[in-house]
Structure 1
Amino acid sequence: MSKPAILVVEDEPGIADTLQYALRTDGFEPLWVATGEAALARLREESAALVILDVGLPDLNGFEVFKRLRAFSDVPVVFLTARADEIDRVVGLELGADDYVAKPFSPRELVARIRTILRRAARAATPGAAPQPFAIDEGRRQIRFYGKALELSRYEYGLLKTLVEHPGHVFSRDTLLDKVWDTHSESLDRTVDAHVKTLRAKLKTVAPALEPIRTHRGSGYALAEDLPAALP
């Protein structure tokens, strides 16, 4: 059985060597690149089980690399950084990363975290589980549509989550305002319409032929119940 490939994206050779040694001795096949552009090029050519991504790369910020990566791959990602600032940790996880490790770190602890992430990914992909168009990850405030992570604002996430959790249920604009927005003073009916419009545009980038959010004139919005389980 082939060993799981882990792509290490790290510009400091000493750290990269340490990571590769820890991964290799624990049964993984480490791959190493030193820049964000090299990482993106490699992942377009061959898959990896997981990516360890340094935030402070010489060419691209690691967060930018992550955003570009998510345009074509859902490979699990662990951010690695020398900056332990709370804002970095929050931004990294809100982008949808699977974990976040600050330097200096224990290579053994990092490998243990990687195994946990891979086990979780394997369970999610277990054969026999009925595929679903939408998958909600509340911990990361993330929604995937046919396996693709959507870049959603706070209100877009709340709006889509509400619809996805109740397919077929028609929500009035007032109900959506109550459920998703903090106060009505900052929102109007047209605010819901504007957010539905942007959500539809983002869903179209994944499935152009589908109309997941249906308008019920005079009533509100509902998630379609007849979406295919998988794209052709």
Structure 2
Amino acid sequence: MDRPFIPPRSRSLPRLRWPARRRRTTALAAVALSLVLTGTGCSRAGTASPAAADGAAPKAAAVVSGPLCDLLPSGSDPGNPAALTGQPAEAALRWLPVLTTFEAAVRASGMSADLRGGSGLTILAPTDDAFAAKFSEDNLDQLFLADQDKLRGLLREHLVAGSLSLSDLVAAGEVTTLAGTTVTVTGGGGTARLADQADTVCADYQVANARIHIINHVLGSLPTTAGEGGHRAH
């Protein structure tokens, strides 16, 4: 499979502003929440990239599950689950439109190489809306531009050694993050609840060196600053 084109990104980290993206991800989150409340999940199978039609053997469909999956790239769309299977985690994150803040945090923290070259990693990636509900915009700017040690600590709260599927997480019952925090895991039916505060909303992206599970809440012990002065991240 040809590697999808990844557009170049600026090395600078401007103040975080996502008005257009925010409107889209808010709508996605609203739909996801309604599905969680009604107990409805979904499974989506991505297809291999069009390059498979040129004679290469097609890859098996990659199945993801959760209430947000129907609203994320699928089928032959760029960023569909099967198209990401050959991508390192750091690159795969760029294709998921609800993870722009998490992906930017990886770059700002200097952890891109860790996600690109690491082998066997589980990534519990909060959505943009989860970050906006947790941190004010000024707080995020401070984390990205000045408190990078704290930012790295926050990201490690969302990384677990070993490439664990959703069923692996649920079977384990608890996992320990790279920050040393024990996170309980419960669930079934295509979703899981983490630390009794976050839910998976699209789980089981299998990429070259990791599993990515999109979640709806920021983990860790940093205080919530959204709405407590400064600008709310949006």
Same fold (TM over 0.5): no
TM-score, with length taken from structure 1: 0.27
Please state which structure has a larger fraction of its residues in helix.
Answer: 1
Q: TM-score, normalised by structure 2?
A: 0.27
